[in-house]
């Protein structure tokens, strides 16, 4: 999206503001879908947690994705957006059995990641097929907070327990229809994927009712001009080779699923903020923004890099700044970052702000959440109102004024 369109969005809708380019999402979907076109039964399930606005979800439905959900609320939102039950997979972690039962009652696909939850499920619903999320004991991912497939992770069923689950199935206590794996996010090295892929095929062959192989997400997108990304064709070729070595996949028409979130929406997003002050000290020059990690937590939580463009003054000489927020914490968006000369009132744009940005926002410091808009067919459309103080107070109870 060019600077002029971003300026137009900021003038029309104010700031802070999230802007999403739906054409980028469509292009990313096509790249992934076309990359796997040689696999006959292939499905993309969009990771709702990355960006859950209903307009985004309905756009995903138009493209033809299913949904990867991690809470019963995400399941219900997906159903309300028109997704079919079979196209929604519920993969919880540590939730109550009541929530799992709700998913069962809604008849969506269920994917459990602990032996304990499987045993509970088998006592009441042993005829309802489920998938299991395994922990492959592989360290992969761009940051420790997104590396989730190693042996100290809370996610997934350790390989040591697979035989016990097989025994449960052999005794008709459970039906396992799918194997799921997710090692982490921002993975670029093919060998990390291949190690996990080989394990999922080895485990799947031990079960008798496998209809789904779910490879999770983790596909990397570039965050700066020279950054690397996951090679989709190489990834697809790796899967195809494993399918060829495992005839049961084609024989049983096993569905191959990927669950991208960031890959689909990350590069579509832009976060626009206004410069309150350019604060000079003997040691540094701080750019103080009208936002904080309450709106945009990725640089603080994941130590992630997001390119920053001064869309008000993009072509001036670049200077080194520390870009910080207005929260009463050390909310540093970027340190020692070179940006075109910044002045009070300028609008800065953070790129790659589509995934895990608005969806992780909060009302910390009693700050309201920003608006969201999208661009489609060259039209700017609001898809979420900016919050106000009433939204923060809504639901609170004043016990001293009853």
DSSP 283-321: S-EEEEES--TTT--HHHHT-----EEETTSTTSPEEEE
Average pLDDT over residues 286-310: 97
Q: What is the pLDDT of residue 224?
A: 83
pLDDT tens per residue across span 324-369 = 999 999 999 999 999 999 999 999 999 999 999 999 999 999 999 9
230 and 273 both lie in a single domain: no
Average pLDDT over residues 19-28: 98
pLDDT tens per residue across span 39-51 = 999 999 999 999 9
392, part of any domain: no
240 and 309 both lie in a single domain: no
Tokens of 99: 């929530």
396, part of any domain: no
Average pLDDT over residues 280-303: 97
Residue carrying structure tokens 């949904």? 67
As a whole number, the mean pLDDT across the chain is: 94
Interatomic CA distance for residues 352 and 312, integer angstroms: 19
Is residue 366 part of the annotated active site? The answer reads no
Average pLDDT over residues 8-24: 98
151 and 193 both lie in a single domain: yes
pLDDT tens per residue across span 82-137 = 999 999 999 999 999 999 999 999 999 999 999 999 999 999 999 999 999 998 87
10, part of any domain: no
Cα separations (Å) of 322 from 54, 162, 283?
35, 50, 11
Whether residue 142 has pLDDT greater than 70: no
42, part of any domain: yes
7, part of any domain: no
Predicted confidence band of residue 145 (pLDDT cuts 50, 70, 90):
very low
Residue carrying structure tokens 């040689």? 38
User: What total number of domains does the chain contain?
Assistant: 2
Q: What is the pLDDT of residue 225?
A: 80
Whether residue 9 has pLDDT greater than 60: yes
pTM: 0.94
Of all residues in the chain, what percent carry a pLDDT higher than 90?
A: 85
Q: What is the pLDDT of residue 152?
A: 72
Q: Which of 221, 248, 265 is the last residue of a domain?
A: 265
The domain that holds 362 is classified in CATH as 2.40.37.10
Q: What is the pLDDT of residue 329?
A: 94
Interatomic CA distance for residues 289 and 323, integer angstroms: 8
4, part of any domain: no
Kindly give the pairing relationship between strand 285-289 and strand 269-280: antiparallel
260 and 271 both lie in a single domain: no
281 and 248 both lie in a single domain: no
250 and 206 both lie in a single domain: yes
327 and 189 both lie in a single domain: no
318, part of any domain: yes
274 and 204 both lie in a single domain: no
Interatomic CA distance for residues 145 and 237, integer angstroms: 29
Average pLDDT over residues 197-220: 93
Of all residues in the chain, what percent carry a pLDDT higher than 70?
A: 95
Q: Which of 265, 281, 299 is the last residue of a domain?
A: 265
Of 328, 349, 357, 374, catalytic: 328
Q: Which of 219, 248, 265 is the last residue of a domain?
A: 265
Average pLDDT over residues 189-212: 89
Q: What is the pLDDT of residue 139?
A: 56
Q: What is the pLDDT of residue 187?
A: 67
For 78-155, strand residue ranges (E) read: 88-90, 109-112, 130-135
Q: Which of 58-67, 223-232, 273-282 has the lowest average pLDDT? A: 223-232
Predicted confidence band of residue 151 (pLDDT cuts 50, 70, 90):
low
Q: What is the pLDDT of residue 192?
A: 78
Q: Which of 243, 15, 31, 227 lies closest to 142 in space, CA to CA? A: 227
Domain limits for position 315: 267-386
Q: What is the pLDDT of residue 149?
A: 44
The domain that holds 233 is classified in CATH as 3.20.20.10
Interatomic CA distance for residues 368 and 373, integer angstroms: 16
291 and 253 both lie in a single domain: no
307 and 198 both lie in a single domain: no
Q: What is the pLDDT of residue 183?
A: 80
Average pLDDT over residues 291-303: 96
Confirm if 155 and 136 have CB atoms less than 8 A apart: no
Q: What is the pLDDT of residue 74?
A: 99
14, part of any domain: no
341 and 380 both lie in a single domain: yes
136 and 248 both lie in a single domain: yes
């Amino acid at each position: 999206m060019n600077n002029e369109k971003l300026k137009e969005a900021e003038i029309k809708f104010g700031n802070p503001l999230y802007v999403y380019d739906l054409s980028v999402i469509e292009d990313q979907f096509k790249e992934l879908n076309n990359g796997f076109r040689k696999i006959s039964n292939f499905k993309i399930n969009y990771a709702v947690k990355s960006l859950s606005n209903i307009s985004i979800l309905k756009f995903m439905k138009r493209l033809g994705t299913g949904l990867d959900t991690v809470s019963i609320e995400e399941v219900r939102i997906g159903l309300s957006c028109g997704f079919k039950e079979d196209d929604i997979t519920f993969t919880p972690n540590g939730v109550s059995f009541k929530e799992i039962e709700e998913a069962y009652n809604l008849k969506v696909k269920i994917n459990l990641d602990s032996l304990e939850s499987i045993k509970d499920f088998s006592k009441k619903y042993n005829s309802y097929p489920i998938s299991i999320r395994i922990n492959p004991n592989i360290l992969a991912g761009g940051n420790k907070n997104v590396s989730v497939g190693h042996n100290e992770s809370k996610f997934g069923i350790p390989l040591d327990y697979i035989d016990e689950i097989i025994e449960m199935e052999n005794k008709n206590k459970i039906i396992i229809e799918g194997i799921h794996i997710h090692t982490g996010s921002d993975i670029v090295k093919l060998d990390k994927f291949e190690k996990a892929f080989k394990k999922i095929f080895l485990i799947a062959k031990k079960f008798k009712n496998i209809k789904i192989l779910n490879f999770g997400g983790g596909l990397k997108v570039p965050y700066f001009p020279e950054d690397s990304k996951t090679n989709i064709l190489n990834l697809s070729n790796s899967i195809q080779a494993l399918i060829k070595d495992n005839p049961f996949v084609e024989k049983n028409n096993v569905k191959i699923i990927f669950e991208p979130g960031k890959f689909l929406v990350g590069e579509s997003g832009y976060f626009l903020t206004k410069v309150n002050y350019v604060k000079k000290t003997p040691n540094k020059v701080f750019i103080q923004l009208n936002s904080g990690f309450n709106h945009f937590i990725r640089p603080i939580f994941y130590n992630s890099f997001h390119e920053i463009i001064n869309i008000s003054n993009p072509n001036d000489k670049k200077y080194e700044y520390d870009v910080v927020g207005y929260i009463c914490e050390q909310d540093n968006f970027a340190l020692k970052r070179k940006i075109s000369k910044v002045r009070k009132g300028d609008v800065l744009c953070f790129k790659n702000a589509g995934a895990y940005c608005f969806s992780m926002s909060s009302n910390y410091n009693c700050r309201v959440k920003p608006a969201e808009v999208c661009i489609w067919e060259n039209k700017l459309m609001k898809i979420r109102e900016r919050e106000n103080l009433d939204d923060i107070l809504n639901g609170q109870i004043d016990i001293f004024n009853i």
